[in-house]
A and B are shown apart, each in its own frame.
Chain A
Amino acid sequence: MATRWPLSLESAAPVLTVSGPAGVCMRTRFMRSKGALSSAGFAAFLFLFPGLFFYVCFEIVPLVGTTVLSFTNWNGFDFRQIKLSGFGNFSEITKDHVFWLSLLHNVIFTAGSLTLRLGVALMLALILDQSFPAANFIRGVYLLPTVLSLVTIGVTFKLALSPTLGFIVPFFKAIGLKALAIDNLGNSKTVMQTLVLIDTWCGVGLFMFLFTSKLMTINQDLHEAAKVSGANVFQDIWYVTLPLLKATTAMIMLIGVIESFKIFPTVYIMTNGGPWHSSEVLSSWAYFQAFTANRVGYGSSILFVQLIITVIFAFIQTKYQPREIE
């Protein structure tokens, strides 16, 4: 009984579906063995309904709600006060310098964190792939941050980074990096890179694990063939392993970009966009607008734009996804 199931995170991208020849075979089979299509339809409906009910009510409806709200200038208090304001919010966005600053921060954050995570994770995965002793235990350790709440991580690092009371500043002083022994979170020049590093800390384990899983499926014969042809470890990695990782890397990048763009709890807890918007991201700015400044309409429009950008990114990335090398 096969316990492996053909799960593919790539099918999370809205453009792809998973239905190869096996899917077609199965469908034809069932169509032959089933009777009237209507009974299949009704049964299918029964199975689908519960999940879809909650999904539509509590995910799609709010989504539509946010979209509609982005065309209003509602203050969030009285339903009867909702007035459509057309594209007013969006034209305000174009003049809102905090918005563009936030967008820039999102991009910096995503690019920085993704690059670091991919690089370090790849390195770790390749090292551990060389039949390293206790590899499973080590991987287990690296994966630990994934189970922690972002709030926990945020608060822990916020305390740790305290210039007077935390352990990070004394640590830097001890190893001689005086330049980094400052209030990294409260300094507008260093706050973004600090957030990037913390996000890397959280996310390396997961990426490393994804790479490792893929590496484990690479046919050992390929490595053997390379070694027989006289390749050393580095050539083996460069010519054999890396090309085979292209598809996985692309998939990880796709998911990583979508996830990174959504960043909110870490920023909210650690800096709340400060100091003076130097760590403001789209989500935190939208949250501020909607709940603190009582500009629900404007906040919604910011989120709407963020969503559009995410979707565009996802589409572009899916288009350019390299094919799997067999």
Chain B
Amino acid sequence: MASRTLNRTIFIVIASPFLLFVGALVLYPVVWMLYSSFKSTSEIFAGVFALPKKLFLGNYRQVFMVGSMGRYFLNSILVTVTSVVGLLVLVALEGYAFAMFNFKGKRVLYIFVLMGFMVPPQALVISGFQLMSTLHLLSTYPALILTYLSWSSFGVLVLRGFYESVPHELTDAARIDGAGHWRLFSTIMVSLAKPALSTVGIFYTMWIYNEFIYPLVYMQRQDMFTIPLGVMFLNTKFITNWGLQMAGLAVATIPPVIIYFIFQKQFVRGIMAGALKG
């Protein structure tokens, strides 16, 4: 027993530097970007690795005034919140249907829905652009929101799995009490499904907030850009102004990181569930 503890300790001692090294590799670029945003551009060029001597806020001022990040932020939030809320409603309903009903062609329909995973956004963007153009929706919020509402496949997958795992005693008891499907759904299922919905919600929020291709193609007007687009724009238009770009990157990064730390549990649970076979 003692030798096992010794082995373990030796193992930890040897593995730690390696893990720390990997951790540093993972964190440093982000950390670098964050502390560089508090340095003026000339400061950054003077010493790339150096920590800021004092917190320079000029970049952030610029990023909101000249870089319109405030506006982009608004766009991103609006689109993200609307889309995610919509998606949660859609997938809660659809997942319930796949789990609780039986009908002809259900299996085929389910595979049809799952096909959504295989399709890359790029393939859709070209004709999507034409579609939005015809509907006169280019450079409008609906162009993005409607597109994101089609991303139900992921949520359906998760919610259906969840609903199927609810013990039948619960649902049977409710049905014996005379509850129809709608009653069953709205009173019991939605509140029970909260953990599943919150996990799905977190993922959708991350994906939609960070989405780049659709805003790139659909948003032809600069004031309708979303944050990722804004970051790219800062990079291409203000090439030499590194301070400004860093601040832009930081503004883009901080919300997802905060959400990540707050909702880590849901995030982790979602990924974990994905790793385990049914």
Contact of A89 with B by CB under 8 A: no
Tell me how many residues of B have a C-beta within 8 Å of chain A.
114
A18 touches B161 (CB 8 A): yes
A303 touches B126 (CB 8 A): yes
Contact of A71 with B by CB under 8 A: no
Contact of A21 with B by CB under 8 A: no
Contact of A235 with B by CB under 8 A: no
Contact among A26, A165, A206 for B48, CB-based, below 8 A: A165
With a cutoff of 8 Å between Cβ atoms, the chain A residues found around residue B149 in the complex are 54, 58
Contact among B90, B275, B277 for A54, CB-based, below 8 A: B90
Q: How far is the CA of A248 from the CA of B268 in the complex (A)?
A: 17
The minimal Cβ–Cβ distance linking A75 to chain B, given in whole angstroms, is: 12
With a cutoff of 8 Å between Cβ atoms, the chain B residues found around residue A150 in the complex are 210, 212, 228
With a cutoff of 8 Å between Cβ atoms, the chain B residues found around residue A210 in the complex are 271, 274-275
B276 touches A307 (CB 8 A): no
Q: How far is the CA of A248 from the CA of B7 in the complex (A)?
A: 29
With a cutoff of 8 Å between Cβ atoms, the chain A residues found around residue B147 in the complex are 58
Contact residues of B between 205 and 227, Cβ < 8 Å to A: 206, 209-210, 212-213, 217, 227
Contact of A152 with B by CB under 8 A: yes
B276 touches A217 (CB 8 A): yes
CB-based nearest A residue for B143? A58
The minimal Cβ–Cβ distance linking A223 to chain B, given in whole angstroms, is: 12
A58 touches B146 (CB 8 A): yes
B275 touches A19 (CB 8 A): no
Contact of A214 with B by CB under 8 A: yes
Q: How far is the CA of A51 from the CA of B12 in the complex (A)?
A: 49
Contact of A176 with B by CB under 8 A: no
When each residue 14-32 of chain B gets 1 if its CB lies under 8 Å from chain A and 0 otherwise, what string results? 0100110011011101101
A17 touches B107 (CB 8 A): yes
Contact among A50, A247, A307 for B89, CB-based, below 8 A: A50
Contact among B96, B180, B209, B213 for A47, CB-based, below 8 A: B96
Evaluate whether A286 and B122 lie within 8 angstroms (CB atoms) in the complex, with A55-B150, A152-B249, A201-B25 already known: yes
When each residue 163-179 of chain A gets 1 if its CB lies under 8 Å from chain B and 0 otherwise, what string results? 00111001000000000
The residue in B26, B152, B245 that gathers the most chain A C-beta atoms within 10 A of its C-beta is B26
Contact of A299 with B by CB under 8 A: yes
Is chain B's binding surface mostly helix, strand, loop or mixed? helix
A148 touches B30 (CB 8 A): yes
When each residue 44-68 of chain A gets 1 if its CB lies under 8 Å from chain B and 0 otherwise, what string results? 1001101110110111011111101
With a cutoff of 8 Å between Cβ atoms, the chain B residues found around residue A64 in the complex are 127
The residue in B130, B157, B275 that gathers the most chain A C-beta atoms within 10 A of its C-beta is B275
Contact among A20, A148, A300, A311 for B256, CB-based, below 8 A: A148
With a cutoff of 8 Å between Cβ atoms, the chain A residues found around residue B114 in the complex are 11-14
With a cutoff of 8 Å between Cβ atoms, the chain A residues found around residue B180 in the complex are 43
Contact of A124 with B by CB under 8 A: yes
Evaluate whether A213 and B15 lie within 8 angstroms (CB atoms) in the complex, with A6-B164, A296-B126 already known: no
With a cutoff of 8 Å between Cβ atoms, the chain B residues found around residue A261 in the complex are 120
The minimal Cβ–Cβ distance linking A320 to chain B, given in whole angstroms, is: 17
CB-based nearest A residue for B153? A55
Evaluate whether A151 and B101 lie within 8 angstroms (CB atoms) in the complex, with A66-B124, A170-B49, A286-B122 already known: no
A33 touches B101 (CB 8 A): no
B278 touches A43 (CB 8 A): no
Contact residues of A between 95 and 132, Cβ < 8 Å to B: 120, 124, 127-128, 130-132
Contact residues of A between 197 and 230, Cβ < 8 Å to B: 201, 204-206, 209-211, 213-214, 217
Q: How far is the CA of A54 from the CA of B19 in the complex (A)?
A: 44
Contact among A41, A65, A262 for B103, CB-based, below 8 A: A41
B102 touches A40 (CB 8 A): yes
Contact of A290 with B by CB under 8 A: yes
Contact residues of B between 114 and 160, Cβ < 8 Å to A: 114-128, 130-131, 134, 146-147, 149-153, 156-158
A52 touches B94 (CB 8 A): yes
B126 touches A299 (CB 8 A): yes
With a cutoff of 8 Å between Cβ atoms, the chain A residues found around residue B273 in the complex are 4-5, 7
Contact of B260 with A by CB under 8 A: yes
With a cutoff of 8 Å between Cβ atoms, the chain A residues found around residue B272 in the complex are 209, 213
With a cutoff of 8 Å between Cβ atoms, the chain B residues found around residue A151 in the complex are 210, 212, 228-229, 231-232, 252
With a cutoff of 8 Å between Cβ atoms, the chain B residues found around residue A43 in the complex are 101, 180-182
Beyond contacts A5-B161, A79-B134, A261-B120: 7 other A-B pairs, Cβ-Cβ < 8 A, are A6-B161, A7-B276, A47-B94, A52-B152, A55-B113, A145-B30, A152-B210
B positions within 8 Å CB-CB of A: 7-8, 11-12, 15, 18-19, 22-23, 25-27, 29-30, 32-33, 44-45, 48-49, 89-91, 93-94, 96-98, 100-103, 107, 109-111, 113-128, 130-131, 134, 146-147, 149-153, 156-158, 161-162, 164-168, 172, 175, 180-182, 185, 192, 195-196, 206, 209-210, 212-213, 217, 227-229, 231-232, 235, 242, 245-246, 249, 252-253, 256-257, 259-260, 264, 267-268, 271-278
